[in-house]
Amino acid sequence: MENLYKKIVNTVPVFFFLWSRDQKETVFLSEQFYDEKSKDYYAPEESREDLRQYIHPNSQQDYDQFFANLSQENDYNDEIEVKAGDALPNINWLKINTFPVIEEGKEIRHIAGHIRDVTHSIEHSQLLQEQVESLDTVTFLLAHELSSPIANIMGLSELLKSKAAGAGLDEYLHLYDSIYNFGGEILTLAHGLVNLLDIQSSKGRFKLEETQLKPFVEKQLRNFYLKPNTRQTELSYSDIDENIIVHIESTNFAKAIEESLVYLIKHIEPDSQISITTPLPQSSEEAVICITSPGVSLPKDAIKQVLDRSSRLGMLDVEGHKTRGMLELVIAKEVCELHQGQLDMINTDSEQGFMITLPKARFD
């Protein structure tokens, strides 16, 4: 076992240290650390056990504050990532984890920990983040650029339809309607992409405010646009508890309601009813908003894949094909998660739809 331990210590890139609460400095640093990682840079006039000398000057303040914050309240257990100094030629980033050294019946005087080289993971993560931001920028610009020509095509189709009707070519009028509708679908997708990117870029920037739920929903439904072929759809909100107050950013959260409605309307008959209700939540710290319709038939497996996804790369349906027509749900899900909430599917014998759960609700 001792030989195995030595092999692990000598081969696994995890290096140990001991920090004294009395001296407020490291008093031990495993030889493997400075022999293998800083041998050429070691200065004999410095204490080899001083871990701080291996930390980049830009990170030394964070390093000092990290150890100052260790206390009984956090069980002397924490972690930090810091930039490595020039004394470590092969490492750019370090991750430090700490643990209390417990001596029976004595106050904790020492904190042990280990150091890991996380250069590859951090630099790889930074590269991926830059690539994502670049792709988002391209997508955003592309969506904006698509909007103008598509709108022009839709306008042109209406003009040509008017001319065809004037020329007595009634049998071709439905073709112009089809062109107009196809353009409208593409325009909706373009606007949806812009909304989605805007929502994602607003993470951590918007301010939540106390909002009375029923007047908020009433306003959204009053302004909700129903296309000519869906104007017989009835939108009901009479069963919303008037005393519920939620913490939301109203402009962004309105998109969760709107996109859920748009998706439902695509799957119901023109004269159907959609109800927005607030059933009692399981926790008094939550508010639940249900958006449902009786008799609607939703693609349950595809919806489950979208709502349960852990990443955009996982948005595949059960047959392995990319899901289609789900952009509204992706936007609604993103909005709910930005509010520390959740979007789930409702699937009962009497109705189908979606349930939005929001935390930190207040009931007057």
- The pLDDT of residue 72 is 83
- The pLDDT of residue 316 is 46
Domain that holds residue 104: 2-117
User: Do both 219 and 336 map to the same domain?
Assistant: yes
User: Do both 213 and 196 map to the same domain?
Assistant: no
Taking residues 304-324, report their average pLDDT. Answer: 56
- Decide if pLDDT at 201 tops 70: no
- The pLDDT of residue 334 is 82
User: Do both 105 and 34 map to the same domain?
Assistant: yes
| 68 vs 123, residue with greater confidence | 68
- Decide if pLDDT at 43 tops 60: no
Where does a domain end: 86, 117, 148?
Answer: 117
Amino acid letter, residue 162: S
Taking residues 211-217, report their average pLDDT. Answer: 89
Candidates 341, 166, 329; CA nearest to 258 is 329
CATH number at residue 76: 3.30.450.20
- The pLDDT of residue 226 is 65
Residue 257 CA to residue 354 CA, distance in Å, equals 10
Candidates 190, 189, 260; CA nearest to 220 is 260
- Decide if pLDDT at 114 tops 50: yes
Predicted confidence band of residue 349 (pLDDT cuts 50, 70, 90):
confident
What contacts 77, CB < 8 A, 6 or more positions away?
98, 99, 100
User: Do both 232 and 181 map to the same domain?
Assistant: no
Instruction: Note the Cα 347 to chain centre separation in Å.
Output: 25
- Lowest-pLDDT range, 6-15, 136-145, 147-156, 256-265? 6-15
Map tokens 């959609």 to a residue.
Answer: 274
- Lowest-pLDDT range, 54-58, 86-90, 132-136? 132-136
Count Cα neighbours of 345 within 13 Å in the Cβ-side half-sphere.
20
pTM of the prediction? 0.52
User: Do both 294 and 310 map to the same domain?
Assistant: yes
Assess if residue 77 is contained within a domain.
Answer: yes
Assess if residue 224 is contained within a domain.
Answer: yes
User: Do both 139 and 192 map to the same domain?
Assistant: yes
Whole-number average pLDDT of the chain: 77
Taking residues 237-249, report their average pLDDT. Answer: 84
Taking residues 107-122, report their average pLDDT. Answer: 84
Where does a domain end: 201, 216, 242?
Answer: 201
- Decide if pLDDT at 188 tops 60: yes
User: Do both 169 and 193 map to the same domain?
Assistant: yes
- 10-25 tens-digit pLDDT: 555 567 888 888 888 8
User: Do both 195 and 223 map to the same domain?
Assistant: no
User: Do both 264 and 360 map to the same domain?
Assistant: yes
Assess if residue 13 is contained within a domain.
Answer: yes
| 43 vs 109, residue with greater confidence | 109
User: Do both 22 and 74 map to the same domain?
Assistant: yes
- Decide if pLDDT at 30 tops 60: yes
CATH number at residue 344: 3.30.565.10
Number of separate domains in the chain? 3
- Decide if pLDDT at 104 tops 80: no
Residue 298 CA to residue 229 CA, distance in Å, equals 19
Where does a domain end: 91, 117, 143?
Answer: 117
Predicted confidence band of residue 227 (pLDDT cuts 50, 70, 90):
low
- 275-310 tens-digit pLDDT: 898 887 777 778 899 999 887 888 888 888 778 764
- Decide if pLDDT at 311 tops 50: no
- The pLDDT of residue 3 is 65
Taking residues 19-33, report their average pLDDT. Answer: 83
Taking residues 85-97, report their average pLDDT. Answer: 83
User: Do both 354 and 231 map to the same domain?
Assistant: yes
Assess if residue 122 is contained within a domain.
Answer: no
How many residues make up the chain in this entry? Answer: 364
Taking residues 157-164, report their average pLDDT. Answer: 84
User: Do both 328 and 257 map to the same domain?
Assistant: yes
